[in-house]
Amino acid sequence: MKILIVVFFVLLTYGVNANNDNKTADKTRDKIDQISKSIESKVIEWRHDIHQNPELSNREFKTAEKIAAHLKSLGIEVQTGVAHTGVVGILKGGKNGPVVALRADMDALPVVERVDIPFKSVQKSTYNGLDVGVMHACGHDTHVAILMGVAEVLSGIKNELKGTVKFIFQPAEEGAPVGEEGGAELMVKEGVLKNPDVDVIFGLHIQAKLEIGSITYKPGGTLASANSFSIKLIGKQTHGAYPWDGVDPIVTAAQIINNAQTIVSRSLPLTKEGAVVTFGSIHGGVRSNIIPEEVKMEGTIRALDYDMQKLIFKRLESIVTNTAEGNNVKAELTIHPGYPITYNDPSLTDKMAPTLKRVAGQDKAFITKAVTGAEDFSFFQKEVPGLFFRLGGMPKGQDPKDAAPHHTPDFLIDDSGLLLGVRALSNLVVDYADLK
């Protein structure tokens, strides 16, 4: 009888404590929503300012200054000059818990903006020796503004916060300038995930063809690896009227391009994962009646499986080498280091999916298919478990077919989608700490 009474009181106490924990969690979530809503106009204002003043990779000086000043105003410990222009903020909560990192990329693209909006960019800069326009044509301005908002939200619940939050504002996601290092890879090399050691990392990307209020995610490979390649073909120059007196690298280039199309269609198990081999550049010759000595080609390789990636490398090397030899042409193939697969840890994704569904709505957060775009967020995920999800930025009711793609002059994001991003990242931090 005494044992039963003891068990009863233990269960009763456990139930009371669990109920109190749930009430505390609910209050924290409500506070997150209240603060997020109260600063929505500030987040939009930050986004407009950053959009109007875009900066190219490894040159995000003013953007970094704006971020650092905001974090310092919140009492957050700030590190600057990380991987050239990166900013890292460290917020220590009032309770013990894990170290959670949140990442936003800062760089813009060499694109001339064509959208007629009040905060349109008219900035100019130099890219690879060329005079270019500069535009946030991939939405990194929204990422920065959202994470600045999250920093303010979590600072506002600092006493209830379990653990530590690292706010990582990353330069050069689009790739460092020629001859420079940069991006997530350099941040990892410089120890951004250390001191304190990060347990898990979350990140998002705005999507121009996904309606506002929506979130999509996928466990496992969600974005492809990306490797560029270059091919140099050396033949023998001759008059175009007498091709037998030379060795034609242009014909060889054409055969290589055609033969390479069989890599994906005939060598890869496409029911397993997707892959792409694309030639994007070919240069050779100066006039119609001269067969040139040299042709240069460039392209990109995308894969969602590392075994398939290795097979692509092997098949491309074989095709280039053998096709060139068959035409008596010398060939040089270089496959350049690139981005790994953006891989969402399946266990972490399953654990945090209820948070995304609760914040966006059960029918507004859903699993989607992988895409062959790439993200250097993948370098963080190679070191610690990570979850990368997509956030809707397309105006309600618009047909996705009519929405301009990323990296184009007409790229457009609806500001009203930013609030969900602030709420989603803030809740992921709090919920992960509760589940840890």
pLDDT digits (tens, 9 = 90+) for 237-251: 999 999 999 999 999
Let me know: does 133 contact 124? Beta carbons within 8 Å.
yes
What's the one-letter identity of residue 307? D
pLDDT > 70: percent of the chain:
95
> What does DSSP assign to residue 398?
-
Is the pLDDT assigned to residue 155 strictly greater than 90?
Answer: yes
Per-residue pLDDT, averaged over 367-396, amounts to 97
Count CB atoms within 10 A of the CB of residue 164.
22
Is the pLDDT assigned to residue 358 strictly greater than 70?
Answer: yes
pLDDT of residue 20: 57
Secondary-structure class of domain 11-223+341-435 per CATH:
alpha beta
pLDDT digits (tens, 9 = 90+) for 174-232: 999 989 999 999 999 999 999 999 999 999 999 999 999 999 999 999 999 999 999 99
> Could you tell me which residues come within 8 angstroms of residue 117 by beta carbon, excluding any fewer than 6 positions away?
412
Q: Say yes or no: do domains 11-223+341-435 and 225-335 share a fold.
A: no
pLDDT digits (tens, 9 = 90+) for 18-74: 465 677 788 999 999 999 999 999 999 999 999 999 999 999 999 999 999 999 999
Count CB atoms within 10 A of the CB of residue 66.
21
How many Cα atoms sit within 13 Å of 262 on the Cβ side?
9
Rounded CA separation 167/101 (Å): 6
Let me know: does 221 contact 345? Beta carbons within 8 Å.
no
**Strands in 181-274 per DSSP E:** 200-211, 215-217, 220-223, 225-234, 238-239
Is the pLDDT assigned to residue 436 strictly greater than 90?
Answer: no
> What does DSSP assign to residue 162?
E
Is the pLDDT assigned to residue 7 strictly greater than 80?
Answer: no
Task: With cut-offs at 50, 70 and 90, classify the pLDDT of residue 13.
Answer: low
* Spatial CA neighbour of 200 closest among 232, 170, 237, 163: 163
Is the pLDDT assigned to residue 337 strictly greater than 70?
Answer: yes
Is the pLDDT assigned to residue 387 strictly greater than 80?
Answer: yes
pLDDT of residue 23: 74
pLDDT digits (tens, 9 = 90+) for 107-154: 999 999 999 999 999 999 999 889 999 999 999 999 999 999 999 999
* Spatial CA neighbour of 221 closest among 431, 383, 375, 393: 375
Catalytic residues: 107, 173
List the chain domain ranges.
Answer: 11-223+341-435, 225-335
Task: With cut-offs at 50, 70 and 90, classify the pLDDT of residue 2.
Answer: low
pLDDT of residue 5: 61
Is the pLDDT assigned to residue 321 strictly greater than 70?
Answer: yes
> Could you tell me which residues come within 8 angstroms of residue 34 by beta carbon, excluding any fewer than 6 positions away?
none
Count CB atoms within 10 A of the CB of residue 382.
13
- What are the tokens at 2? 């005494």
**396-405 as b/e, with b when 16 or more CB fall inside 10 Å?**
eeeeeeebbe
pLDDT digits (tens, 9 = 90+) for 88-106: 999 999 999 999 999 999 9
> What does DSSP assign to residue 57?
T
**Could you tell me what percentage of the chain is helix, strand and coil, using 3-state DSSP and rounding each to the nearest 5?**
40, 30, 30
225-335 maps to which CATH number? 3.30.70.360
More reliable by pLDDT, 4 or 266 = 266
pTM of the model as a whole:
0.92
Q: What mean pLDDT value characterizes the chain?
A: 95
> Could you tell me which residues come within 8 angstroms of residue 11 by beta carbon, excluding any fewer than 6 positions away?
none
Is the pLDDT assigned to residue 16 strictly greater than 60?
Answer: no
pLDDT of residue 261: 96
Rounded CA separation 244/267 (Å): 34
Report strand pairing: 124-127 vs 130-133. antiparallel
